[in-house]
Chains A and B, each alone.
Chain A
Amino acid sequence: MLFVLEKKAQLKIQQMVFMILAITLFFVLVLIFYFATKVNDMKQDVIDLDREKASRLATKIASNPEFTFRGKSNAIDSDKLMILKEQKAYKNYWENINGFLIKKLAPETKNAECTLQNYPDCDEIKIFNVGKGVTSSSYVALCRIENVNGIGYDKCELAILSIYIENETE
């Protein structure tokens, strides 16, 4: 009789253990699902914030002292950009920005990247790491000073400035 009772108790404990394990497993799965959704939402938030930042910056970066042409609104200094390309300290100055691409639109372009050797007879100025990340663009006047018979004058051409924002989720 005692043996039968003991067996019954053991069976009950086993049932209970299985039940507890099943409940625990269920809650673990729910938690995993919850965190997976949350991480996904956070990634999306980060991408959205980066896009917002990129579009905000595209219209504002031209007024940075490193870009602006003699304080004129929406005009960037191509001479300064050529120097900025080489100034390593600036590589991480603008948070989350991989690089900048300034492409001359008019007069007709030859698609030649600007170097110290071919400047200003070129069309594209690449600064830092171009080609990776979220981009945002705006039209700017690409200006430089030209010397004619000892007198300097401002020469400006239409260009498009693209900003490559680092995608933090990558």
Chain B
Amino acid sequence: MKKKAVELSFAWIFSIVVGAVILFIAIYFASQLIETSSYEINTKTTKKLIGIFDSLQTTAEESKTEKVTFAIDTKIYPSCNNEGDFGESIIQISEKFGFKNKWSKPGGDISAQDVYLFSEDIIEVNAHEDVYFFTKQFEMPFKTADMVMMYSKPYCFVNAPREIRNDIENLGQNVNLFAVTDIDSCSGESVSVCFDSNNCDVNVNTVAHTIEKNKETVYFIDETIYAAIFSSKGSYECGIKRIMMKLSQLSELYGRKAQFITQRGCNTGLYGDMVLLQGRAKEFKDMRELEYIKTTAELIKNKNGELGCYLF
């Protein structure tokens, strides 16, 4: 019996090989295209998010709020560096794309020198969930920067001091912050913040001016309490260092202004104090130095208040 063999002509073999090569190249380019598109979309989303910070800038008012809803599952990667004259806040975004619903490669990092962002190292939100922002002014003794707090989970403040409760009330309903008297009133998904007790995710010691969270402790003064509560230790310390760098530059500006207006008969006598403040802010290394710089700033504020020609 004769065996039947499938006879393939050269033309067929050639077509199959070339077809396979073309198919492979097409699939490769399609996957590359999808990756590039997701990178582009992530970068565009980041750029738009950075744009929101302009609207968060405070004018005469002390604080501002904003809420952003993401259409798809999103991860925000905020970071900070304190190189150069001002340092910068950096943001990258990754979204869930494609048939496999996998996290895409984060988009290009968008940085801003004039933004002081305080947040956890990764913020993850599901589709149609919100990311919340609120701003607090940092004054030492003049307005130095707007601290922007960014978070997605609800924060539950247990037995907060009156000032904090008033602040939460003034921020309004749209910020996902709650002040309660009992930790049992906090929802399970919320981050609990206790004052002068140690039963919560974040524990604030108002006497020692320290905040303990994730087994790490940070030092705060006045309004920096919010920055410390809402951010990771790294983000907080880098952000405060950047604000001190800005304070140093602003003190130089005010010091030179003091000299400048003296020529027009406005002698403030504050040039020396501004040089001192500039130097201390520039040399800032440890969070404990905040109190020391604050004392210098308060002295300048008092002197300025007594002047005929105000410097600030």
Contact = CB atoms under 8 A, between A and B. Distances in A.
The answer to whether A and B interact is yes
Interface stretch (B53-61, B169-177, B200-208): B53-61
Interface in B136-151: 142-145
B308 A57 contact: no
A115 interface: no
Contacts of A87: 249, 252-253, 256
A24 to B, nearest CB: 8
Interface residues of B, number: 45
Given A65-B142, A71-B143, A145-B266, A150 B308 contact: yes
B85 A52 contact: no
A53 B51 contact: yes
Given A16-B18, A83-B253, 7 more contacts: A45-B44, A56-B55, A60-B54, A79-B257, A95-B111, A145-B266, A145-B310
B309 A16 contact: no
B143 A79 contact: no
B151 to A, nearest CB: 23
Contacts of A132: none
B265 interface: yes
For the residues of A in contact with B, the DSSP-based class is helix
Nearest to A93: B113
Given A42-B40, A73-B60, A95-B113, A89 B85 contact: yes
Contacts of A90: 249
Contact of A65 (B18, B22, B86, B143): B143
Contacts of B145: 65
Contacts of B129: none
Interface of B: 10-11, 14-15, 18, 22, 29, 40, 44, 47-48, 51, 54-55, 57-60, 85-86, 111-114, 142-145, 249-250, 252-254, 256-257, 260-261, 264-266, 307-310, 312
Contact of B264 (A80, A84, A89, A147): A147
A82 interface: yes
Contact of A147 (B55, B144, B249, B309): B309
Chain A contact patch, size range: 35 or more
A89 B249 contact: yes
Interface of A: 9, 12-13, 16, 20, 23-24, 31, 42, 45, 49, 52-53, 56-57, 60, 62-66, 68, 70-74, 77, 79-80, 82-84, 87, 89-90, 92-95, 145-147, 150-152
Given A42-B40, A94-B114, A49 B253 contact: no
B260 A83 contact: yes
A56 B114 CA distance: 14
Contacts of B114: 64, 93-95
A147 B265 contact: yes
A30 B299 CA distance: 70
B257 A83 contact: yes
Contacts of A57: 54
Contacts of B22: 20, 23-24
A63 B253 contact: no
Contacts of B142: 65, 71
A156 to B, nearest CB: 14
Contacts of B54: 53, 56-57, 60
Contacts of B252: 87
Given A63-B58, A64-B57, A152-B266, A84 B253 contact: yes
